[in-house]
Every structure is written in C-alpha cells, then in structure tokens.
C-alpha cells in the first residue's frame, strides 16, 4: 500500500478483544472487514458432514482472518474461534477493496498471498492423504513449536485439548490420546495436564 492508503487504514482500524472460546465469526457469515491477529491464537474450523468441527489451521500474531471471503465477496466457509484471550485489529472492507481496485502493486501482493495460501492448503491435503496419523501428530507438534514457540517452562506456547489435537490431525480423540501417550513413553515429549514439552525434535521428525 502507499503511505496515504496505510494512513487511511490506521485511521479507521479498530481493536477487538475476544476471550478463550469466543466465536470471532461463524461459518456462512458475511464479513464486513478483515481481521489481523495482534496477540493470542485462534483456530479456523470446518463443520464436517457428521456434525463435528475439524480444525483446519491455527493462526497467531500478524496473520489475517477473513481476507478471502472479503475479496471474493462470499460468505465464510470456515469459523474462527479464540483458543486463548486474543486481540484483533479490524479493518473495514472498503479500506481493503478500494486499494485493490486502484493500486496494482497491492493487488499483485494480495494475489501472491492468496496463491501461497492455496499451495499450503494443497500441501495439507497431501499430508492428510499420504501420511499416517502418528506422522501427522508429530508434524503438528513440530509446527506449533516452530510457529508459536515455547513458554518460560519450555512447554508449547499454544495449549490445546486432546480433542483439538484429534481435530487437527483428523482422528478420534481416543486415538490422539493414545498416540501422545506413546510419544511420551518413547521420550519424544513430556506432558503435564494440557501442557506439552518437546523432548526429542529429531525423534519426532523420524516418526513413521
């Protein structure tokens, strides 16, 4: 964006706060702007045919929510839910669409980002189809540590329930509990309640 366009965004953006478990927007909702995570973590979920929510992605600081729906002028195909207390910046739709029509450099940058998101979604589909549940669980743990880091105690910075882990890797909760217990017995991770500490990075990468 140009400096003037950025000034317009800054002047009209608002800050919104959500508590853990709050719904930021529901699947099928019409959005009137784009959200950017300032602090905290949220999850994007998709309601499956059996009535259960499947976690599609975790989003943290600096990441955007709702941009595809706003640009395509479609209702959302995912829900966004706060995983912990979260602070979001909200930018009205017109402050995104006007530069898209007038600023070719901005339009191209947005197009590149959407293409990147599509590639990541394709990679996720391939992972789900070609890798075992154990491998997907290991990759999820590694992803959370890489993207969201660790807290002062060395535990993963994002605290998820066993149901959340099951939803992310596409398995039953009982299976997720069993796999995490196996990882703990093998010395790959440590657990304390919902807190998980990665003990053996290379070991997780070698999970088959």
- Other CB atoms closer than 10 Å to residue 83's CB: what's the count? 20
Same domain, 9 and 108: yes
Question: Which pLDDT does position 129 carry in this prediction?
Answer: 66
Same domain, 28 and 120: yes
- Other CB atoms closer than 10 Å to residue 182's CB: what's the count? 14
- Under DSSP, the state recorded for 144 is H
Cα–Cα dist 200/106, whole Å: 42
| 103, HSE (Cβ side, Cα atoms, 13 Å) | 18
Question: Which pLDDT does position 125 carry in this prediction?
Answer: 67
Domain boundary among 75, 102, 128: 128
Q: Which domain holds residue 113?
A: 3-128
Same domain, 115 and 194: no
Same domain, 58 and 98: yes
- Other CB atoms closer than 10 Å to residue 90's CB: what's the count? 18
Domain boundary among 128, 158, 177: 128
Same domain, 120 and 188: no
Average pLDDT, the chain: 87
Same domain, 121 and 149: no
Same domain, 192 and 148: yes
Question: In total, how many domains does the chain have?
Answer: 2
**Residues 109-135: tens digit of each pLDDT:** 888 888 887 787 777 666 666 788 999
pTM of the model: 0.77
Same domain, 73 and 121: yes
Question: Which pLDDT does position 120 carry in this prediction?
Answer: 75
Low-confidence ranges of the chain (pLDDT < 50): none
Which backbone phi and psi does 24 adopt, to 5 degrees? Answer: -80, -45
Domain boundary among 128, 155, 176: 128
100 and 106 Cβ atoms separated by less than 8 Å: yes
CA-closest candidate to residue 140, choices 175, 177, 166? 166
- Other CB atoms closer than 10 Å to residue 9's CB: what's the count? 17
Question: Which pLDDT does position 128 carry in this prediction?
Answer: 62
Same domain, 93 and 145: no
- Other CB atoms closer than 10 Å to residue 73's CB: what's the count? 10
CATH of the domain at 93: 2.60.120.10
């Amino acid at each position: 964006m140009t400096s003037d366009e950025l000034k317009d965004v800054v002047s009209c953006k608002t800050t919104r706060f959500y508590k853990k478990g709050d719904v930021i927007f529901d699947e099928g909702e019409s959005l009137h702007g784009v959200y950017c995570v300032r602090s905290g973590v949220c999850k994007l979920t998709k309601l499956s045919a059996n009535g259960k929510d499947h976690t599609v992605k975790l989003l943290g600081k600096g990441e955007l929510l709702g941009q595809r729906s706003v640009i395509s002028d479609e209702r959302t195909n995912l829900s966004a839910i706060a995983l912990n207390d979260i602070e979001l910046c909200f930018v009205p739709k017109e402050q995104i669409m006007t530069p898209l029509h007038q600023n070719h450099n901005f339009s191209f940058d947005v197009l590149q980002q959407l293409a990147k998101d599509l590639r990541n979604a394709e990679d996720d589909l391939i992972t789900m189809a070609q890798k075992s549940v154990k491998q997907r669980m290991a990759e999820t743990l590694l992803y959370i540590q890489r993207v969201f880091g660790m807290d002062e105690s060395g535990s993963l910075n994002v605290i998820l329930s066993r149901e959340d882990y099951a939803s992310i890797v596409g398995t039953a909760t009982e299976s997720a509990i069993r796999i995490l217990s196996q990882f703990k017995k093998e010395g790959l991770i440590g657990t304390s309640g919902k807190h998980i500490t990665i003990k053996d990075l290379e070991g997780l990468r070698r999970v088959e």
